[in-house]
A = this chain, B = another copy of it.
Amino acid sequence: MTETYQQYVEYLQKIADVNYSSAVLQWDQEVNMPPKGAHFRSRQLATLAAYAHELITDSKYGNLLESLRSSATGLGPKECANVLESYRIYAQQKKYSTAFVTELNLCVSASFHAWQQARTKKDYSIFMPHLQKLIDLKRKEADLLGYEQHPYDAHLNLYETGLKTSFVDKLFEGVRNKLVPYITQLLRKQQPEDNFLFKFYDKDKQWNFGLYLLRQLNFDFDAGRQDISAHPFTTNFSADDVRVTTRISENDLFEMIGSCIHECGHALYEQGLPSDDYGLPSGEYLSLSIHESQSRLWENHVGRSRAFWNHNYGYLQQQFPSQLGNISAEQFYKAINRIKPSFIRTNADELTYHLHVLIRFEIEKEILAGKLDAKALPEVWNAKYKEYLGIDVPSADKGVLQDVHWSHGSFGYFPTYSMGSFYASQFFHFASKENPDLMHHIENGNMMPLLLWLRQNIHQYGRTLLSDELCKNITGEVLNFDYYFNYIKTKYDELYA
């Protein structure tokens, strides 16, 4: 490696130090911080963020990248990929003027605060003017960043390099044309019994069962830990320190189980990234949708499978004999897979989940195109919930105010959730094809073959290629909705037979 490349590595690792430090402060904020600590914690995070931004937009760093780009002699393909990705981020960051960043940050702060209030009071009008200002800035941001076809592309691109609105449109055609009618068809059938999932389940016993699952899924506790937080999340401070959180509701058993397996999927990805490439693109997760593919794959393809519960249900039953003593593994399997149209995205089942995302996608696209403003949002929102899910939204907190994303100024994030599920199905299809015994191993509690396949095919590459390229390498084509649809159709035809 050249000396210039080594300089670049050191500089990037310094930026990573600062960003991971912020992540520690954020994790602590969600997991440990006493209430009065919030005020000064905000400014500590702001100072670290400003320093990271200063480092990443420093023109001396830009010159370093330029000189690496212009003379890449001595660099291997991984090193070249790192430089190109770093340059992309550098160039993207340089498009923002300081004035714009300041205005956006102030607006986000105010919006987030207003959103919290509005949600508590179930009163959209508190949030509305802030959201409109944010929308105006987001439209400006799209112009600032530039786009070829649709202003929404500029935002999608912030979460998923190269993603276009037209591509998501095509994906969601599948949701609209195949999934929506299929759900309607299933909803007409007899629904499996699931009342027993909502009995009283002791917190400590649930916690221990969650740890048992993490161990079974090969979460490395020497390189991570689990804690409790209000909203489950995964974060990491290197591949060697990955933190998951869960929440436990004593009247909803699968909430903890589902979120525990989901976050573990994220964590296994982070623990599987090459830690020698700390701070470099080759040591980072590929994209949000690929990250989500890992959590969904473990949550749905493993954690909601019959094989998984054939192995684990006996142990679960032992922990909760009075609640589950009379329930068979098969009944349990059916209950945790029952579909139920509902208001809240994060509680949705494996099928209706994508209708929630579809609605947000359609709305965001219209917003960025300048065709929809904050004022009309609740009406549009409620109409779409009626149309796609057949339900009447009772109040704004269960409707347009439910998600934090817009208050943070995140437009373009939601589609990656559904794409993650679709990628999961496509990857799992090939993992199973290459390992015909995969489900058999899972039925025996041996999750290692699947993890090794993911490490080998996905984790080891970090961010040295695009999601599309990764997908093509593994499956021979780009993301294709049919893998997901075939998977759920086979599963649910049988389940609801």
Contact = CB atoms under 8 A, between A and B. Distances in A.
A39 B48 CA distance: 21
A32 interface: yes
Contacts of A13: 43
B25 A47 contact: no
A34 B278 contact: no
A230 to B, nearest CB: 16
A61 to B, nearest CB: 15
Place the interface of chain A in its size category. 35 or more
A76 interface: no
B32 A44 contact: no
A17 B41 CA distance: 8
Given A13-B43, A21-B25, A21-B44, A240 B36 contact: yes
Contact of A40 (B36, B40, B47, B238): B238
A89 interface: no
Contact of A241 (B18, B37, B240): B37
Given A24-B25, A28-B24, A48-B17, A223 B40 contact: no
A279 to B, nearest CB: 9
B17 A47 contact: yes
List 6 A-B pairs, minimum CB-CB distance, nearest first: A37-B241, A17-B47, A40-B238, A36-B240, A36-B223, A17-B44
B238 A34 contact: no
Interface of A: 13-14, 17-18, 20-22, 24-25, 28, 32-37, 39-41, 43-44, 46-48, 51, 220-225, 237-238, 240-241, 275, 278
A295 to B, nearest CB: 20
Nearest to A43: B17
A193 to B, nearest CB: 39
17 contacts: A17-B43, A20-B40, A21-B21, A28-B28, A33-B241, A34-B222, A34-B224, A35-B222, A36-B222, A37-B223, A37-B237, A37-B238, A40-B237, A40-B275, A40-B278, A41-B237, A51-B51
